[in-house]
A and B are shown apart, each in its own frame.
Chain A
Amino acid sequence: MTYEAVIGLEVHVQLKTRSKMFTRAQAGYGFPENTLTDPVVLALPGTLPVMNKEALDKIIRAGLLLGCDIAPVCKWDRKNYFYPDSPKNYQISQYDQPICRGGEVEIELPGSARNIMGEHRRIALTRIHLEEDVGKLNHGEGESLIDFNRAGTPLMEIVSEPVMHGADEAFAYLTALKAVMIYGAISDCDMEKGQLRCDANISIRPAGAAALGTKVELKNLNSFSFVRDGIAHEIARQTAVVSAGGKVVQETRDYDGQTGESKSLRSKEMAHDYRYFPDPDLMPVEVGAEWKAAVRATCPELPFDRQRRLIEQYGVPYTITSVLVPDRELGDFFEEAARLSGKPQAAANWIANDLLRELGAAKLALAQSKVRPQHVAGLVKLVEDGVILSNAAKEVFVDMFQTGETPESVVARKGLKAETNLDELERWCAESIAANPRSVADYKGGKESALNAFKGPVMRAAKGKADPRRVDEMLRRLLAG
């Protein structure tokens, strides 16, 4: 029998806000332990939470971008459980009235080849709610220390419907979700910094069956690849269990991306009773039409919409758009360079190839790049106008990347201007033809490729500054004459 996997993802995304969810303490990553705290974060006696409006704005923006219904009232509940990383021993969360319901994430499955767009699908969402993050336990020899820097950071939980069927689909979902979060300036979604965390609910059922099988929750999926590998592993594990006549047990499993193995964390019987109840310290907040409209005005174009537009409007190939689009700033960079140069395809090539290569080699972010859109546009124009040749242009780009100088000044400094003295070019071509009578005979005998034999000496004489197109034309003219 063949089996079909059913997958739902619960993704936690930290919101990029200046302060924490319920206090003015700074939110951030990479600070010395327990420096991003205050009496509220540490749950000192008598402290009270106060809602961060920026966080609510951001989750509403996320909801609007994903087409969710935004609740008219933002209500808070307490989720009660004891754990040392949770300072109050309850988490302020949203239980029965999440701020966002429904919505969907447009995803792209892998295409048949790298340069072919894959199938697009829409993955339905159940809900998105807002809560606060917990601190971090650092386990040492015989002791565990707690760092509360992360505690209280605004955290969004995005729950998908169980509508995905493969590890690749889950991977595509995360990729698309991350792009939307980055576009909305909602989160940077850096998994290494814990800004995005993913749990997967996985079950299998006989292919074609309607009822869902027993689900297993997979936790600690620390990277997009681990999510893909962990899901693939779990589908295989469940299939093996069922094929051998066994039954899948409802449980939570821990996936170790390093070893590729999973182990049971807890069974259904040990599930918590969180004793949810409305948080009496926080008044429900009304989210009126005006508020929603104000947030809607800040919503950017969605990544896939932009990709379709770049292909249509600029004629940029799919492969290059799939490089330019996921990073919103890179897309903006491209559109600016395209506008300034009037040659979008050339600009796209410079950015997708040369700029990204140099940034990667120098380990720099786009914001740190000395090459700006006007540099790219200037370079495109120089090549287009035949002022420099493409070989020289490559050299100019690397130089600009190092120095930040304009392409014009690099060309002038390095003397890279293309040779445009036609008399000189004609003389070099004539010399080259005269020096190689055998190839002349071949060419005249109809062997087109014989023409190449004349080009080397011309280029050498021109020290690389000759335009190959002109050389080609000149040689043909002289040979025909």
Chain B
Amino acid sequence: MSEELNYSTISELSGRLHRREISSVELMQAVIARTREVDGRVRAFNSFDEPDALAQARASDERRAAGKAGPLEGIPVGLKDVISVAGQPLTASSRMLENFVSPYDATVTCRLKAAGALCWGRLNLDEFAMGSSTENSAFGTTSNPWDLARVPGGSSGGSAAAVAAGEAVAALGSDTGGSIRQPAALCGVVGLKPSYGRVSRYGLIAFASSLDQIGPFARSVEDAASVLGVIAGHDPRDSTSVRQDVPDYARGIAELAKSGRRWKIGIPKEYFGEGLDPEVGAAVQAAIAEYRKLGCEIREVSLPHTKYAVGAYYIIATAECSSNLARYDGVRYGHRSKDARDALDIYFKSRAEGFGAEVKRRIILGTYVLSSGYYDAYYLRAQKVRTLIRRDFLDAYREVDAIVTPTAPTPAFLKGEKAASPLAMYLNDIYTIGVNLAGLPGISVPCGFTKAGLPIGLQVIGQPFRETELLAVARAYEERSDWRTRRPGL
């Protein structure tokens, strides 16, 4: 029975919990057992707290018995270790926060708890969400459940791997330049990055504030929609969260499906050029062919400023991170060097010891681009490029409803394969970065496997705050495929 539970969707499990076929405690126990069984090899988790999880499950069963079940009642949801849960570690996979325990709940955590979900474990990531492989974690690399020699992608590699390996029913990650969609693609699960401002960032350790957005990993588009419905909405604690009602996504998707709407799908030519793995390209083309079969109109569109996206991204993201990470100074909390003798020592030595190489690289880059005399040439110009990139997308949306691209140029790569070249690693986000710069919602859904058995992801990009349509387009493809019935041979 166990593996069946571990690979069920939220909607399946909610039904079984509702019918009292299983209890929350039984489901949690199954997830714990699976995690114990496989996480030695997958290493999706930085830590997990079994007694706490079981206590949450018991409380959930009591709520259900009292007739107070929430929309995610009893569903174990894993959390990337940058999302705060009161009383639990919050490490960002960094030595800097190795022993830090957060005293407060992130807004998404509050909302998950209020919906009855069980907050399960602290999921691994690239340190401070900086990376595309989870190799930058200070506590060890997560393995791709489909091939343990390969990376799960990143930075939310732990979240993607946990869902793929059956160690969580769903998970939350954060996406700054592709950190949800790319690992979702590489691990064969669904990963959704909502529109910027759709989900509160309060309680999310900031990497790049104007790009970061929390979103779900799930086994199906429908599951991703139900988690989004719980975590989305305006939050008075985050002034970048938008005052817009949260629609009933499940109903909206169902209505759109029933209406038989024929979507206009845009294919940006700039996303199918050099560097795209042929197997990935073929799988994406096959998915596009499915849309055509559905009666969708496929149109080529142009996003002419795409080639500047990676450059603009690494200026804006690093500038913001250089400032956001200044608070990790060893003064109030976090790592403090034992060798520190005075205030300057506390800064220099604590930060030298506490941060890994990639984090330091980005802080230095960001400090440079904001420096007096360089601001206009780098930061200001990057912001202008950002505006042009957003305009490219909005222009395209005058003609199409959604844009379809590969999520990542390649399937999961070998551990160590790109670790030596930051630039090669950065280029893995080439198809996902523009979406963050433009503040758009994007989703990755499984669209096939390579001959070697590695998952491939299809990215669907939607219009600002039109997640319902985005999810409906993704769901239309998902329904015609059975990729999600495959399981990794762990």
Q: A84-B343, A90-B326, A277-B379 are in contact. Are A45 and B92 (CB under 8 A)?
A: yes
State which of B83, B84, B203, B332 has its C-beta within 8 Å of the C-beta of A87: B332
The distance in angstroms between the C-alpha atoms of A163 and B371, with both chains bound, is 32
Does B206 touch A at the CB level, under 8 Å? yes
Contact A277 B319 (CB under 8 A): yes
Which residue from B82, B202, B322 sits with its C-beta under 8 Å from A48?
B202
Give the segment of B101-109, B273-281, B304-312, B452-460 that binds chain A. B101-109
A46 touches B332 (CB 8 A): no
Is the C-beta of B329 less than 8 angstroms from some C-beta in chain A?
Answer: yes
The answer to whether B320 has its CB under 8 Å from any CB of chain A is yes
Q: Which residues of B contact A49 (CB under 8 A)?
A: 239
Nearest CB of chain B from residue A384's CB, rounded to whole Å: 59
> Looking across the interface, which residue of chain A has its beta carbon closest to that of B331?
A84
> What is the CA–CA distance of A374 and B209 in the complex, to the nearest angstrom?
59
Answer whether residue A88 sits at the interface, using C-beta atoms and an 8 A cutoff.
yes
Kindly supply a per-residue 1/0 record for chain B positions 196-223, scoring 1 wherever the CB is within 8 Å of any chain A CB and 0 otherwise: 0000011111101110000000000000
**Shortest Cβ distance from residue B343 to the other chain A in the assembled complex, whole angstroms:** 6
Report A-chain residues with C-beta under 8 Å of the C-beta of B237.
48, 50
Asked if A43 and B203 sit within 8 Å, CB to CB, the answer is no
A46 and B84 contacting across the interface, CB-CB below 8 Å: yes
Q: Answer whether residue B422 sits at the interface, using C-beta atoms and an 8 A cutoff.
A: no
Q: Shortest beta-carbon distance, B299 to chain A, in Å?
A: 34
| Nearest-neighbor residue (CB-CB) of A38 within chain B | B104
A275 touches B97 (CB 8 A): no
* A45 nearest in chain B by CB position: B205
**Docked complex Cα distance between A263 and B267 (Å):** 68
**Which A residues are in CB contact (< 8 Å) with B240?**
48, 280-283
The reply to whether the CB of A29 lies closer than 8 angstroms to some CB of chain B is: no
With the chains together, A211 CA to B226 CA distance in Å?
68
The A34-51 residues at the B interface (CB cut-off 8 A) are 39, 42-51
Within A188-210, the residues touching B (CB, 8 Å) are: none
Q: Do A51 and B331 touch across chains, with their CB atoms under 8 A apart?
A: no
Contact call A43/B375, Cβ cutoff below 8 A = no
8 A Cβ contacts from A252-311 to B: 273, 275-277, 280-283
Instruction: Choose among A39, A48, A89, A280 the residue that contacts B329 (Cβ–Cβ < 8 A).
Output: A89
Choose among B84, B104, B323 the residue with the greatest number of A CB atoms under 10 Å from its CB: B323
Q: What residues of chain A lie closer than 8 Å to B203, measured between beta carbons?
A: 46-47
Residues of A within 8 Å of B106, CB to CB, are 46
Q: Is B391 an interface residue (CB 8 A)?
A: no
Given A42-B332, A90-B323: A80 and B370 interface contact (C-beta under 8 Å) = yes
Q: Is B466 an interface residue (CB 8 A)?
A: no
B90 lies within 8 A of chain A by Cβ: yes
Binary flags per residue of B313-328, CB closer than 8 Å to A gives 1, else 0: 0000001101100111
* A275-B371 contact, Cβ under 8 Å, with A44-B104, A282-B239: yes
Most buried by B among A50, A78, A89: A89
Query: Which of the residues A45, A84, A90, A282 comes within 8 Å of B90, measured between beta carbons?
Result: A45
Given the complex, which residues of B lie within 8 Å of A277, measured CB to CB?
319, 323, 370, 375, 379
With an 8 A cutoff between CB atoms, is B297 at the interface? Answer: no
Residues in B with CB closer than 8 Å to A88 are 326-327
The answer to whether A80 and B326 touch (CB under 8 A), given A281-B209, A282-B239, A283-B240, is: yes
Taking the complex as formed, is B372 at the interface, i.e. its CB lies under 8 A from any CB of chain A? yes
Distance to closest chain B CB from A90 (angstroms): 5
A84 to B205: give the CA distance in the assembly, Å. 21
In the assembled complex, the Cα of A50 lies from the Cα of B82 at a distance in Å of 20
Q: B347 an interface residue at 8 Å Cβ cutoff? A: yes
Chain A residues near B83 (CB, 8 Å)?
46
> What does the 1/0 interface line of A227-258 toward B look like (CB < 8 Å)?
00000000000000000000000000000000
CA distance A48 to B379 in the complex (A): 22
* Cβ–Cβ contact B323 & A275, under 8 A: yes
Contact A273 B371 (CB under 8 A): yes
User: Known contacts A46-B90, A48-B201: does B97 contact A82 (CB below 8 Å)?
Assistant: no
Contact B103 A50 (CB under 8 A): no
* B14 at interface, CB cutoff 8 A: no
B236 at interface, CB cutoff 8 A: yes
A313 at the interface (CB under 8 A from B): no
Q: A46-B206, A82-B329 are in contact. Are A281 and B239 (CB under 8 A)?
A: yes
Pick the residue among A82, A87, A90, A283 that contacts B239 (CB under 8 A). Answer: A283
Given contacts A44-B103, A78-B323, A88-B326, contact A50 B236 (CB under 8 A): yes
Query: Number of contacting residues on B, CB 8 A?
Result: 45
What is the CB-to-nearest-CB distance from A44 to chain B, in angstroms, rounded to a whole number?
7
Tell me whether A44 and B238 are in contact (CB under 8 A): no
* Those of A69-89 within 8 Å (CB) of chain B: 78, 80, 82, 84, 87-89
Q: Is the interface of B mostly helix, strand, loop or mixed?
A: loop
CB of B239 within 8 A of CB of A46, answer no
B111 to chain A, nearest CB (A): 15
B327 and A87 form a contact (CB under 8 A): yes
Question: Is A144 among interface residues, defined by CB-CB distance under 8 A?
Answer: yes
- Among the listed B204, B323, B343, which residue makes an inter-chain contact with A46, where contact means beta carbons less than 8 Å apart? B204
Asked whether any CB of chain A lies closer than 8 Å to the CB of B413, the reply is no
Docked-complex contact A39 and B104, CB < 8 angstroms: yes
Chain A residues, CB < 8 A from B202: 46-48
Kindly list chain B residues whose C-beta atoms are within 8 Å of the C-beta of A42.
Answer: 332-333
Smallest CB gap from B83: residue in A: A46
Give the docked Cα–Cα distance between A280 and B370 (Å). Answer: 14
Q: Which residues of B sit under 8 angstroms from A50, Cβ to Cβ?
A: 236-239
CA distance A276 to B373 in the complex (A): 12
Chain B residue at smallest Cβ distance from A148: B332
A275 to B100, CA, bound (A): 29
Q: Which residues of A contact B210 (CB under 8 A)?
A: 280
Chain B proximity of A45: nearest CB distance (Å): 5
In the assembled complex, which residues on chain B have CB atoms less than 8 Å from the CB atom of A90?
Answer: 323, 326
Nearest CB in chain A: distance from B185 CB, A: 27
Q: Give the complex CA separation of A295 and B346 in angstroms.
A: 46
Within 8 Å of chain A (Cβ to Cβ): is B29?
Answer: no
| Complex Cα–Cα for A281 and B200 (A) | 11
For the complex, give the distance between the alpha carbons of A457 and B322 in Å.
90
Q: Kindly state whether residue B367 has any CB partner on chain A within 8 Å.
A: yes
The smallest C-beta distance from B37 to any residue of chain A, in angstroms, reads 32
Which B residues lie within 8 Å of A362 (CB)?
none
A47 to B104, CA, bound (A): 10
Q: Which residue of B lies closest to A49 (CB)?
A: B239
B86 → chain A closest CB, angstroms? 10
- Inter-chain CA distance A82–B332, complex, in Å, is 13
Determine the residue in chain A with the shortest Cβ distance to B97: A45
- The 6 A-B residue pairs with the shortest CB-CB distance, nearest first, are A89-B326, A280-B210, A280-B209, A275-B370, A46-B203, A43-B327
Could you give 29 example pairs across A and B, Cβ below 8 Å? A39-B103, A42-B333, A43-B327, A44-B102, A44-B333, A45-B90, A45-B102, A46-B82, A46-B201, A46-B202, A46-B203, A47-B203, A48-B202, A50-B238, A51-B239, A78-B323, A84-B329, A84-B343, A84-B346, A90-B323, A144-B343, A275-B367, A275-B370, A277-B319, A280-B209, A280-B320, A281-B206, A281-B209, A281-B238
Interface residues of B (CB under 8 A from A): 82-84, 90, 92, 97, 100, 102-104, 106, 201-206, 208-210, 236-240, 319-320, 322-323, 326-329, 331-333, 343, 346-347, 367, 370-372, 375, 379
- Besides A44-B333, A49-B239, 15 other CB < 8 A contacts? A39-B104, A44-B102, A45-B100, A45-B205, A46-B202, A46-B203, A80-B370, A82-B326, A89-B327, A90-B326, A275-B322, A275-B323, A275-B372, A277-B319, A281-B239
